[in-house]
Chain A
Amino acid sequence: MSETQAAGAAPTPVTTESTAALDQTNHWWRLIAVWVVLSAIADPLFYYLAGPHMPPGTMTDVAEGAQFDFNVLMVCAIPVILAVWIYLLYALITWRASRGGPEPVAGPEARGHLGVQVGWIVFSTVLVMFLFGFGTYELVQPEGAGGGEGASPIWTPASKTILPIQVIGQQWKFTYRYPTFGGFETDELVVPSDTTIQFNVTSLDVIHSFWAYQLGVKADANPDYNNVAYATTQQLGSFIVRCAELCGLWHGAMYNSGAVVTKQQFDSWARLTEFRLRKNTALLPPYRLTYTPDANGADGSYYPDNVDPYSKTEQYGAPQNNGAG
């Protein structure tokens, strides 16, 4: 659309030698008019039509915050892109050599134009400072807490009741421990609706990245390190969990899905699972925020001593003394 409009706005070749000043005014105002009109059309079109469907959706407050930020950035980006595209198209049509026309301007005005240069720098600086201020404001809000904030987060959600869930990345799956339900470990991620969840993300081996796409949560899982991210659920539904940091052979297959369920459903699921897995839970090391990785035969192990989880002969859960505790 922009192409036809800009092309239509392009002037016929300047055959008569008009004065340079008049000529310049024409180009300038024509460009600005096309730019303003197209931006005024494109921005609301994007924001109101496409914006609500932009990822990662509105399943949690952090997802909705990320979506809002994405849309605001798009609203800023569209006029910038349009400005360059309109100008380029206009220039290529109007000033191409095959059209003939006057000789290119030369002299001091072709070497630089103080007003244009200062205006450009001021405009881009203002835009950048706005983006920085906006981004920082959005980051320190509760809606900005979806990214990994390290072990001691300083920008935390408002809610006082927070459900902690531990995400343990390991080659090549995520498992989840629910410390408020006896610390059972499962590979199903089920979270209650209308609840603020604290994801404590850690790893047992290499660096993974816990990416719950629809929840708007992404936090690297580092060995021996607790990385916290928050999300407050606001819609029911299922979501995808993927590993977003290359972690080796089966990185591409390291995904599963989770679900946001009602609080009652979550409660019954959690209690049932806690009961169902009670024997496994007894074998696990006590819930901690980090576990010493078991790679390279280091001292201490997430898995109980004397048990090699990858051993074919010795089954996980065989009698042992729990040295990791």
Chain B
Amino acid sequence: MAIDTSQVEEFEYPGEEEVADQPPLPPSWRRSAWLRPHVLWAMAGGVLGYLIGHWLGNVIASGYIQVQDTGQNDVAIVLGLVFGVVGWMAGIGGLTYPMAKIVGHEPMPPPPEKSWVRYFRMTDDHKVVGYQYAVGVLLFLFTGGLLAMLIRTELLSPTSHVFGPGVYIAIVSEHGTIMMMMASSAVVGPLGNWLIPLMIGSRRMAYPRVEAFSFWIFTAGYLVIVSALLFGGFPTGWTGYAPLQTQAGGGMDSYLVGFGVIGIGMIMAGFNLAATIINYRAPGMTWGRVPIFVWGILGTTALLTLATPTLVVACLVGVLDRTAETAFFVNEHGGSSFLWQNLFWFFGHPEVYIMALPGFGIVMEIIPVFTRKPLFAYRVAAAGILGVALLSFFVWQHHLFQSGINPDMRPLFMLTTELISIPTGFLFLVTLGTLWKSKIRFDTPMLFCLAMLFNFLIGGVTGVFLSDVPVNVTVHGSFFVLAHFHYTIMGGLIFALFAGFYYWFPKITGKTMNRKLSKLHFWTMFIFFNLTFFPMFLIGILGQPRRVFEYATNLQTLNDIASISAYFLGASFLIFIVNFIWSIYLDPHPAPQNPWNSLGLEWQTPTPVPWYNFEHIPVITNDPYHYGEPGAPAVADLGRSMASVGAPAGSVSSDDLETGTGDGDPRPPIT
């Protein structure tokens, strides 16, 4: 079908605005840069909000809501934290736009900013939000990593202790919670926000303010969860099981408020990315041409938006139990301690795939580039991602196999849990199929991808052991579980994250990473990751439960191997930091335009990417995987001339123009 393009000149594609050579000047009434919201105002707002909330809590609940055996007032802490988060968001300017709309003003969008101050503001530029998320996620990661070093230090000896039991359990809980919060944004935040518009040929996100809001509330969540240490920590681990949660001290409030706040950020990030991917694809970017990384993010956004509300509600209920003396989780007053477990894991298991799916996307995106072959079985890859996303909502009670809840449902959850290994296995079908008779280049991103496959295989296979109820009796709640999910999350997601980091680094920063340091980072991280966590499988099946500070003396050798390797694993991140700073600031080498010879759309943009991404909305003419297919059309026409992609002038085949709406209503070409 040919389309007459002469009638569609008025069509305005979403995000298609006039691009001026210079960003529009700010209106004269605009305040100076220092007075407009930025992170220092956010800090001031946070502190002020906390003080107001704390004072208010003491006024309304002084004397009758006290944490047992402490002078802490739960209501004051919770209100302080909530008001602090509100103050933080007000200080960063997150509330300016909605408040202005409420009082009837039409707010001016902030001008695109060139100064470095933009990294400390709410910004409409998805690439700046991507940078901000990268720094935020690394901050989370290294905080949690340092806590992990402390845990492994305590476990060097079975009986003599570095920390008291309260400090140890606070460290363990803080490590788990920080890492879970970090990992749920680890890829979606930095790479998702930075790359998705570039990959789908859009100039902007669907909801840039929502996107920026999600980052700044993420940082607020970080501050809140770290503040738990000031209130004495919390003893529940990242799972926060209920009667213990109700009993715990003031740090528990930080956990509940912090996790709830992070949850709100996750929902917002998910909505923005889903809307962007669905609505802002360039003409011709059909669902069959969308890069597989975008599929991975799309599957993740489904989980972010559908599963995370459960977490927010669970945290709210937990806060009510602790402050307003409700009894949702208190058995003797008609509540149930199973309620928290159900709510939490209904979020918690999709959360695991929130962390896994972007990793799948990255690995499947990168492997074709370094094998110079098309992605094998593209449809299977997309189906695997969606299948995992769907099934992940039906497996949560495998965390409760031994809890006594619904014992007759255990075969069902065993089935669903094992079924999820089928779409997960598609990752291996696709990547191994792509390797078949390819031409593999061992650059650092590829090494991380291969390591991810190696690690994730072990993590996945051990998951089947956990899904089998009789075997679960032994391994549930032991170090086996711990090793399993570190293999899937750290071995899977974090390795994939670094693969993506090294792969897109030249695009994002315009610099080249030092090759030798990159390789050194990879090999230390890969070797010591396995030396740290593989012994934990053995420690687990030999009977060491999680989150203990004392263990059987015959397990000391294995624990010491894990601990010492963990120090080297931590050191490998230092190599990364050194490499990062070295390559950006100390010895920068400008990167070539497309150092990996990738066909991806994001590599066809100039480096550094202008704030409007594309001068013209590109017309997508092929998928980004046509390696080794001479004569195949280029991935996109960036210059808007349909003639250059082989279409007759004035008309264009519907294949080139069909958009993802898939309703036979192709977006008109832009001439």
Instruction: Let me know if B437 and A27 touch, CB within 8 A.
Output: yes
Given contacts A150-B406, A252-B547, contact A128 B241 (CB under 8 A): no
What is the bound-complex CA distance between A261 and B401, given in angstroms?
Answer: 30
B309 within 8 A of A: no
What is the bound-complex CA distance between A226 and B372, given in angstroms?
Answer: 60
A104 within 8 A of B: yes
Q: Chain B residues with Cβ under 8 A from A240's Cβ?
A: 543, 552
Other-chain contact of B415, A132, A155, A217 (Cβ < 8 Å): A132
What is the bound-complex CA distance between A246 and B177, given in angstroms?
Answer: 14
List A86-145 residues whose CB lies under 8 Å from chain B.
Answer: 87-88, 91-92, 95-97, 101-107, 110-113, 116-117, 120-121, 124-125, 128, 131-132, 135-136, 138-139, 143-144
Q: Chain A residues with Cβ under 8 A from B333's Cβ?
A: 298
Given contacts A106-B373, A211-B545, contact A246 B239 (CB under 8 A): yes
Instruction: Let me know if A154 and B408 touch, CB within 8 A.
Output: yes
Q: Chain B residues with Cβ under 8 A from A66's Cβ?
A: 470-471, 473-474
B259 within 8 A of A: no
Cβ-closest chain B residue relative to A172: B165
Give the contact stretch, choosing among A38-46, A268-276, A288-296: A288-296
Cβ-closest chain A residue relative to B437: A105
Which interface class (under 10, 10 to 19, 20 to 34, 35 or more) fits B? 35 or more
What is the bound-complex CA distance between A242 and B628, given in angstroms?
Answer: 59
What is the bound-complex CA distance between A73 and B469, given in angstroms?
Answer: 12
| Distance from B248 Cβ to chain A, minimum over Cβ atoms (Å) | 8
A194 within 8 A of B: no
Instruction: Let me know if A70 and B371 touch, CB within 8 A.
Output: no
Instruction: Let me know if A292 and B332 touch, CB within 8 A.
Output: yes
| Distance from A125 Cβ to chain B, minimum over Cβ atoms (Å) | 6
B337 within 8 A of A: yes
Interface string of A183-218 (1 = CB under 8 A from B): 000000000000000000100011101010100111
Instruction: Let me know if A124 and B464 touch, CB within 8 A.
Output: no
Instruction: Let me know if A110 and B373 touch, CB within 8 A.
Output: yes
Interface string of B295-323 (1 = CB under 8 A from A): 00000000000000000000000000000
Instruction: Let me know if A124 and B425 touch, CB within 8 A.
Output: yes
Given contacts A148-B407, A149-B407, A244-B545, contact A62 B338 (CB under 8 A): no
Interface string of B345-365 (1 = CB under 8 A from A): 000000000000000000000
Q: Chain B residues with Cβ under 8 A from A157's Cβ?
A: none
B546 within 8 A of A: yes
Instruction: Let me know if B474 and A56 touch, CB within 8 A.
Output: yes
Instruction: Let me know if B403 and A148 touch, CB within 8 A.
Output: yes
Instruction: Let me know if B402 and A95 touch, CB within 8 A.
Output: no
Q: Chain A residues with Cβ under 8 A from B457's Cβ?
A: 81, 84-85
Interface string of A242-261 (1 = CB under 8 A from B): 11111111111101000000
Cβ-closest chain A residue relative to B238: A246
Cβ-closest chain A residue relative to B419: A128
Interface string of B460-498 (1 = CB under 8 A from A): 010011011111111011100000000000000000000
List B604-661 residues whose CB lies under 8 Å from chain A.
Answer: 626-629
Instruction: Let me know if B169 and A251 touch, CB within 8 A.
Output: yes
Instruction: Let me know if B241 and A206 touch, CB within 8 A.
Output: yes
Cβ-closest chain B residue relative to A154: B408
Interface string of B367-408 (1 = CB under 8 A from A): 000011111111110000000000000000000111111111
Most chain A beta carbons < 10 A, residue from B332, B402, B464: B402
What are 29 A-B pairs with beta-carbon distances under 8 A? A55-B543, A66-B470, A77-B464, A88-B454, A91-B436, A91-B438, A96-B440, A104-B627, A105-B373, A112-B376, A112-B377, A112-B378, A112-B433, A121-B422, A135-B470, A139-B414, A144-B469, A211-B477, A213-B543, A220-B402, A224-B332, A225-B337, A225-B404, A227-B403, A242-B543, A252-B168, A252-B169, A292-B332, A293-B332
Residues of B within 8 A of A (CB): 165-166, 168-169, 235-237, 239, 241-244, 246-248, 330-333, 337-338, 371-380, 400-408, 410-411, 414-415, 418-419, 421-422, 425-426, 428-429, 432-433, 435-442, 450, 453-454, 457-458, 461, 464-465, 467-474, 476-478, 541-543, 545-550, 552, 626-629
* Known A106-B627, A252-B168; further 8 A-B contacts with Cβ < 8 A: A97-B372, A110-B374, A132-B414, A135-B469, A135-B470, A213-B474, A223-B243, A253-B548
Residues of A within 8 A of B (CB): 23-24, 27, 54-56, 62, 65-66, 69-70, 73, 76-77, 80-81, 84-85, 87-88, 91-92, 95-97, 101-107, 110-113, 116-117, 120-121, 124-125, 128, 131-132, 135-136, 138-139, 143-144, 146-151, 153-155, 201, 205-207, 209, 211, 213, 216-220, 222-228, 240, 242-253, 255, 292-293, 295-296, 298-300
